Amino acid sequence: MKVRYQYRIYPTPQQVKGLNQLFGCCRVVYNDALAIVRSVPQGAKRPSNAELQKLVITQGKKTAERKWLADVSVVPLQQSVQDLGVAFKNFFESRSGKRKGSKVGFPRFKKKLNQQSARFVRTGFSLKGNKLELAKLGRFKVKWSRPLPSEPSSVTIIRNTAGQYHASFVVEIGPINIEPLRPSIGVDLGIKTFAFLSTGDRVESPGYNRLDRKTRRFQRKLARQVKGSKRREKTRLRLAKLKLKTANIRKDFLHKTTTQLIHENQVVVLEDLAVKNMLGNRKLARAISEQGWGTARTMCEAKASMVNDREVRIISRWEPTSQICSDCGFRWGKVALSVRSILCVSCGTEHDRDGNAAKNIEKSGLGLTQDSK
């Protein structure tokens, strides 16, 4: 299976200038190709990727307005047109129902201030010792935090909004064999406690309050400053670094938590949460978005496919996991969110609300509960 290994790279000032030029060329090629597709009359056939490459790259280099496209490698320019083809494929498959998940919108034009990227295939890059060599850009210093498991098939150079550069390699790996400690586990995701496990353990999320306060302060400061000024750009950069720090803390926590869940349990049972609908609650929207429930589910499913004999099961969001006693099966009905401890009137067992829900999630995922009807 194919996975990504990402590393920080440190370009020289001259290489930064070359990368910025490459990002601009990739963005212009993508936008030109999208403009051609949008100009096609309704009902007419859309140009293929090969035809778009001829129009925006080959013929574009011959014009005075786009002759500077010849100054960069043609490989990432071709991949940029390929990315547009993938975007259209995802859009049409999402409309027809072939693509799972949330609906994918119509491709939009790329902006200069967003994250920039350029992808090189094997004909455009090579590894020379501990350095990465890119076509027409030279050799780059790479911070190798871990060795590559195999020869990479492509590399994507990324510049985030904080001005940092990364190289993301696509490599092929085989399945991992790890003996599980438990046959199954149920996970109830929450806000104050990130996850309550059916084993009785709690997983506490890192605190984001301090970084959130600083982020909101800089957002207010940015809104007051004059657009285009140097001070506003300085504030924008500090704000981007704060948001990146929060995202890195969250990603590190989610990676460690999901890896432990997959390695220690043969079957991990999660609840199908409607996160987008829950974000409509303005009082809880920030707290819900900080937890990263959707990312945690995606990571669990991806890591389960990388380990032999692992499975992630998703139960329906309508399962009354908080309304049923996990010991005797008595259903007491809906209970307010402020109630955190419940005493079952049937068997007399006192349950923690989240712990009881985690046990019911595990039973429902394993098919051990009966239909309430």
- Tokens for 110? 């790329």
Residue 354 annotated to the active site: yes
Q: Are strands 265-271 and 311-315 parallel, antiparallel or unpaired?
A: parallel
- Tokens for 226? 């004059």
| Residues 193, 354 contacting (CB under 8 angstroms) | yes
Instruction: Give the active site residue among 83, 290, 354, 362.
Output: 354
Q: How far is CA 197 from the centre of its chain?
A: 24
DSSP collapsed to 3 states, 316-346? CCCCCCCCECCCCCCECCCCCCCCCEEECCC
| Residues 140, 134 contacting (CB under 8 angstroms) | yes
Rounded to an integer, what distance in angstroms lies between the CA atom of residue 5 and that of residue 153?
Answer: 12
Rounded to an integer, what distance in angstroms lies between the CA atom of residue 269 and that of residue 128?
Answer: 45
Residue 188 annotated to the active site: yes
Closest CA to 330 of 355, 347, 354: 347
Instruction: Give the active site residue among 271, 290, 319, 362.
Output: 271
| Residues 62, 11 contacting (CB under 8 angstroms) | no
Instruction: Give the active site residue among 188, 290, 319, 362.
Output: 188
Q: Which residues are catalytic?
A: 188, 271, 354
